Structure 1
Amino acid sequence: MPLHVPPAPAPALRTVLTALSSPTAVREARTPSLLGARGPVTPELPLPLHVLDHVTPEGVPAVRLAGWRFLVNGGDRVVAAADTMLTPDGWAFSRFFEGPYVTATQRALRHAEAMPQPFQPRLLSVPGLYMLALWLHGDHTADAAAGHPDAADLLVPLAPAPPGIAAHRPHRVADLLPVLTHRATPTPLLRSPA
C-alpha cells in the first residue's frame, strides 16, 4: 500500500524553496552533499515532526507539532533534509542538515511503503532519549498536525537508536511506549542508610 504523505502547509514549503534558492543559506548549511548536488534540488516527502512531551497517567502520549521536515532530493538521491518551525509570525525555515537520520528516514519510508496497510507517515522525536522514530499513523486521512500516537500505530526507531531499542524494526505504540516511558523517567537518587 502506498504511504499517504500529508501535504505540508504552503508557507512552510515556500520557506524551504526560498532557502534552497539562496546561495548564502545553502553555503552556510555545512552540508557537503547539498553543496555538491548537481542540478536542481527539490524538497520532497514533507513529514510533520511531532515531539513527545510526556505520557499522561492514563497512558496517552502527549505530543505537539514542532515543525515539518522535507527530504531534499538532488538528482536521483536524497542529499539533505530541511526543517521548518512554527513561529508567532508563521512558518519559518529552520535549517538544512544531513547525516544518519536522513538516510535512516529514507530507509524506513521505503520499508513502510511495502507494508500491506495504508499509513500516514510522521516523525516523532523523543528528546529524553535522543531518539527519532518514523510514526506510521493508522488513520491516513487524519490532520497530520494534530493527534497522538494510537495504540495500534507503528513506531520505527531510526538509527542511531538508543541502546536496547532495535532500529528499523516496527513496534506497535502499545508495546514500545511503556519502554520509552520507563527509559525516559529519571531514577531518583538512592540515599545511603543513616
Structure 2
Amino acid sequence: MPLHVPPAPAPALRSVLTALSSPTAVREARTPSLLGTRGPASPELPLPVHVLDRIATEDVSATRLAGWRFLIRCGDRAVAAADTVLTPDGWTFSRFFEGPYVASTELALRQAEALTQPYQPRLLSVPGLYMLTLWLHGDPTADAATGHPAATDLLVPLAPAPPGIAAHRPHRVAELLPVLTHRVTPTRLLDSPAA
C-alpha cells in the first residue's frame, strides 16, 4: 500500500465519534445519506486539510492547516464526511456534509493506491478557484500538519474541478501551479482610462 495515511490528532477523532453518537448532531447536519444509514457509521481515512492562501510559482509556503477531514463510512462506501477545526480549546467537530467531494475523494484515494511510489495523502484547498485537490506528498513520514507542496508532489483535482482542469488526473505541483497561478491572477485592464 503506497499511501501512508497520517494519524489524526486524538481529540479530533474523539470529537467526530462524539458527534456521530449524538442523534441531535446527526439530525441537525441535514445530510440525507448520513440520516438514512443502516448500521454503524465510522470515521475513516483522516486527511489534513491545507489551504493554499496565496499561489506563487516560486514560493508556495502560503499554505496553512485548516482542519482534519474524515470520510464517514457505512458498509462498503463513504456516505458523508466530517470536518474538525482547531479552536483555542483544541480540536473540535465542525460539521458533517455530503456531496460530490465525498465520492471524488474516495475515488482519488483508490486511484492513488495503484501508484508505485509511497505518498502521504492530504487535501489542498484552493479557495480562489473553488478547487479541492488530493495532495500526494512525497515524504510519507512528514508531519502532516506542516509543510508545503514540493515541486515533485502530485495534486489530483477532485470533481467538480474548475473548467479546463481535468478531475482525477494527477499533476506534478511544478506543472499545475503555473496553471493555477494564471487562473487566480486578476486580469489587468490594458489602457484603462484614468478616473
Q: Normalising to structure 2: TM-score of the pair? A: 0.95
Match of 1:53?
53
Superposed CA RMSD: 1.4
Answer whether contact 2:61 2:147 (CA < 8 A) is retained. no
Aligned partner of 2:18: which letter?
T
- Secondary structure in 1 matching 2:177: helix
Match of 1:84?
84
Match of 1:6?
6
Off by >2 Å, runs of 4+ in structure 1: 55-61, 188-194
State the Cα deviation string for residues 45-75 of structure 1 (Å, max 9, x = none): 0000000011357333420000000000112
Report the alpha carbon displacement of residue 189 of structure 1 after superposing the two structures with TM.
3.6
In structure 1, C-alpha distance between the alignment counterparts of 2:101 and 2:70, rounded to whole Å: 12
In structure 2, C-alpha distance between the alignment counterparts of 1:13 and 1:180, rounded to whole Å: 33
In structure 2, C-alpha distance between the alignment counterparts of 1:130 and 1:61, rounded to whole Å: 19
Residues 173-184 of structure 1: pairs in structure 2 closer than 5 A = 173-184=173-184
In structure 2, C-alpha distance between the alignment counterparts of 1:34 and 1:81, rounded to whole Å: 9
Report which stretch shifted further, 68-77 or 54-63: 54-63
Report the alpha carbon displacement of residue 181 of structure 1 after superposing the two structures with TM.
1.2
- The 3 A distance-change label for structure 1 pair 189 and 116 is same
Report the alpha carbon displacement of residue 77 of structure 1 after superposing the two structures with TM.
1.5
- The 3 A distance-change label for structure 1 pair 179 and 57 is closer
Q: Structure 2 stretches of 5 or more lacking a match?
A: none
- What fraction of aligned residue pairs are identical, expressed as a percent? 82
Report the alpha carbon displacement of residue 99 of structure 1 after superposing the two structures with TM.
0.6
